[in-house]
Amino acid sequence: MKGLKLSVTCDMFRGNERGLPVDTVDGKDPRPDPDVKYTPDEALALAKSQGYEGFEMFDWRNEEERSAYSMAMRKHGLEAVCITAGKGVRAPGCSLTDPSERDGFLQEVASASAIAPELDCRRLVVLTGFEREGVSRAEQMDSCVAGLREAVPILERAGMTIVVEPINTLVTRPGYFLAGAREGFEMLRRVDSANVRLLFDIYHVQVTDGDLILQIQNNIDWIGHFQIGDHPGRMQPGTGEINYRNVFRAIYELQEAGKFDGYSGLEYHPSVTLPQTMAEVRQLANFS
């Protein structure tokens, strides 16, 4: 069976310790089993059993967790798809929007790039940080472009790719700088490097921009990774307005045409058990 290369964010295995914001309309956690937590070995065993090829977004700064996922990935034959460079969504001390934090940003990229080979990982997720009050959007965009350009030599030496993530400001992160894919693609074209791509989170892009399939088809050369969640609610595909079968087919056709060889990663709050939603998405992303 042919299909998309699927990954799953490790935050979905953390039970009540997960940090993913709850974006449901009523603000309630929709999971039927919020107390269920998986060890790294249990998590990757589940992923493998459901036909997944990768995992992502574990805490690489935690040496114990990093070591556990490193052992589990080799045991179960999965790929570490991406880790996060920087210190969270607000990117304290390492924001791209603030030139005074440029050195901090570059140090985070260098530190993540140095650790990544332990896990054979080749992608770093980057967050722009929040808007700066009293500073024009154009000036902040210039700072983001300059910071990413300065990171390119580090990435080239390490054989790494940055994937910059837009996050919607209407529901999830009011005040975050890069909210949409359109502006993200503009940023990347200015950086103009094969080592800098966009993390196209389908949920966030639907909230901000919509026009999913055309944006994907017209900009696939600039996309390094996809993430999955439905809108409204940031729950599993099929609970909201996104026709995921059609979106997956568009990605699959680009994959088959040799225009995309990356992953699509689950990152949402399922209203069914994790094994059930992983199985359902695997089937939804399969094409004969």
Q: What is the pLDDT of residues 230-273, one digit of tens each?
A: 999 999 999 999 999 999 999 999 999 999 999 999 999 999 99
Which residues are bridge partners to 211 per DSSP? none
Average pLDDT, the chain: 97
Q: Are 13 and 33 contacting, i.e. CB atoms less than 8 angstroms apart?
A: no
203 vs 235: CA distance, rounded Å: 9
The pLDDT > 70 percentage for the chain reads: 100
Instruction: Please report, to the nearest 10 degrees, the dihedral formed by the alpha carbons of residues 110, 107, 174, 83 taken in order.
Output: 20
277 vs 64: CA distance, rounded Å: 28
Residue 274: its pLDDT value, please?
A: 98
Please name the helix (run of DSSP H) or strand (run of DSSP E) that holds residue 181, with its range, or none.
helix 181-191
Q: In whole angstroms, how large is the CA radius of gyration of the chain?
A: 18
Predicted confidence (pLDDT) per residue in 73-107, tens digit: 999 999 999 999 988 898 999 999 999 999 999 99
77 vs 69: CA distance, rounded Å: 11
88 vs 57: CA distance, rounded Å: 11
113 vs 9: CA distance, rounded Å: 19
Peptide bond into 232 cis (omega under 30): yes
pLDDT higher than threshold 80 for residue 1: no
Other Cβ atoms within 10 Å of 64 Cβ, number: 9
Q: Report the CATH number at residue 163.
A: 3.20.20.150
Counted residue by residue, the chain has a size of 288
pLDDT higher than threshold 90 for residue 288: no
Domain count for the chain: 1
DSSP β-ladder status, 286-287 and 223-228: unpaired
pTM metric for this prediction: 0.97
For residues 102-125, give the mean pLDDT: 97
Residue 114: its pLDDT value, please?
A: 97
CA-nearest of 147, 163, 149 to 97 is: 147
Predicted confidence (pLDDT) per residue in 129-184, tens digit: 999 999 999 999 999 999 999 999 999 999 999 999 999 999 999 999 999 999 99
Q: Are 189 and 144 contacting, i.e. CB atoms less than 8 angstroms apart?
A: no
154 vs 262: CA distance, rounded Å: 21
Predicted confidence (pLDDT) per residue in 171-217, tens digit: 999 999 999 999 999 999 999 999 999 999 999 999 999 999 999 99
78 vs 85: CA distance, rounded Å: 21
Please name the helix (run of DSSP H) or strand (run of DSSP E) that holds residue 124, with its range, or none.
strand 123-126
Angle between helices 137-158 and 181-191 (to 10 degrees): 60
What is the domain extent for residue 13? 2-287
Sequence-distant (≥ 6) Cβ neighbours of residue 88 within 8 angstroms = 127
Residues 21, 23, 28, 30, CA torsion sign = negative
Other Cβ atoms within 10 Å of 210 Cβ, number: 13
203 vs 205: CA distance, rounded Å: 6
Residue 185: its pLDDT value, please?
A: 98
pLDDT higher than threshold 80 for residue 118: yes
